[in-house]
Amino acid sequence: MTHRDKDFIVALPDDIKKGRTTDVYFLRTVKILKSEGLEKVRVYAEITVSSMPRSYRWAILGGLRDVIKLFRGLPVDLYAMPEGSVFYDRDYYGTREPILAISGEYASFAVYETPMLGFLAFGSGIVTKTARLRKIAGNRIKILSFGARRMHPAVSPFISFYAYIGGCDGVSCVRGAEFLGVKPMGTMPHSLIIIYRAIRGNHAEAWRAFHRVLPKDVPRIMLVDTFYDEKEEALMAVEALGPENIYGIRLDTPSSRRGRFEDIVREVKWELKLRGWEKVKIILSGGIDEESLSRLIEAGADGFGIGSTIANAPIIDVAMDIVAVERGGSWIPIAKRGKMAGLKQVYRCQKCLTDIVVEINEKVSQCPVCGGSMREMLLPYLRNGELVREIPSPHETREYVLDQLEKLDLNRKPWE
């Protein structure tokens, strides 16, 4: 086996910074520019939305902090909407809106277009899907990210990070939690239940062992669908630990046994309440998506562990395009077909989140929808590769997302 065969098939941070994850035509472009004495040509490039998933009317910006790391130290200026900002494919007047812009010598940053777009497309996809789930669930329902097992392990911390920013209350991935500065959250696997049933003859011993061994700050949420009917195992688990010691039970019923999952939830909730155990929370996992979430909440679910729906979130398709080239000290507006040339700014109403895109020297003071005040959204983050704006903590960004969700409709732009 060669050294290459022994390595996991992943790109390391050094590979990304050195441009090894780029598309090869960017390397060829840089070679041509340098050979022809054009490596110093400065351009102004914008990142805009090419398309959104069919049902999406808005998205939330994710991946920006890694884009900033990617471009730090390069001779470029970078402007962007703050991470966690809502954005749209087009503004109030139908103009495609930039979410990020870069200016500098094109040859110095061309190879980073590929990883930059990857950070933004994937990060925005994860945070947007999670935000949509949070919008449906409201503020009372707990949502945990169980997405680590549904995606390549190299990117599982990235998924956890942006799931949290999008509104998850916690993440199960250990490394993802470390990046966030929080404790990882989770319950127990079926394997623990199975081993105790096989070796000790009673799977209730697994619940008792969980309670005995783990620290008190770990919520006592017992998995109750391994061998028996969910109602029966739920009652067994509460009796095994005592209602005063149990936070909740988790149902992960397989699809072949599920039927109407919401009816199972109603039955379990009824049996718990009948015995005076209504404080025991019901947590669900397994195949939870936007469509089923509201039905299960209505049936009485108190929280969810969501994996596939978050990890398999559709990307937000973004593209980078040159919209101006510097010549003789001035910016010459130029762009390919289908794109708007020239430097631009995005103004946003702080009341209703309506956006207007204008030429860089124009100003917009009043929202055409509600009359609210407008604020510039493309803010400087890098000047000649130096950081000029602090990046908020993930917790601050999460609060920013949740605040915007209060003003957003799931199926409409603010001005529709």
pLDDT in tens, 105-150: 999 999 999 999 999 999 999 999 999 999 999 999 999 999 888 8
pLDDT at 389 over 70: yes
End-to-end Cα separation, the chain, in angstroms: 60
Which strand (E) or helix (H) includes residue 374? Answer: strand 374-376
d(CA 285, CA 42): 51
Residue range(s) of every CATH 3.20.140.10 domain in the chain: 3-125+314-405
d(CA 189, CA 173): 14
CB count within 10 Å of CB 259 equals 10
Residue 255: which residues within 8 A CB-CB, separation 6 or more? Answer: 286, 287
Q: What is the pLDDT of residues 212-264, one digit of tens each?
A: 999 999 999 999 999 999 999 999 999 999 999 999 999 998 777 777 999 99
Cβ contact 414:405 at 8 Å = no
Which pLDDT band holds residue 5 (cuts at 50, 70, 90)? Answer: confident
Residue 328: which residues within 8 A CB-CB, separation 6 or more? Answer: none
**Domain 186-306, CATH number (from 3.90.1640.10, 3.90.660.10, 3.20.20.70, 3.40.1180.10):** 3.20.20.70
CB count within 10 Å of CB 160 equals 32
Which pLDDT band holds residue 3 (cuts at 50, 70, 90)? Answer: low
CB count within 10 Å of CB 261 equals 22
Cβ contact 381:403 at 8 Å = no
Residue range(s) of every CATH 3.20.20.70 domain in the chain: 186-306
CB count within 10 Å of CB 366 equals 13
Task: Identify any residues that bridge with 374 across adjacent strands, giving them in sequence order.
Answer: 349
Cβ contact 297:135 at 8 Å = no
d(CA 28, CA 309): 38
- Burial label, 237 (beta-carbon count in 10 A; 0-12, 13-18, 19+): buried
Query: What does the pLDDT average to over 317-338?
Result: 97
**Domain 3-125+314-405, CATH number (from 3.30.565.10, 3.10.20.30, 3.20.140.10, 3.90.1010.10):** 3.20.140.10
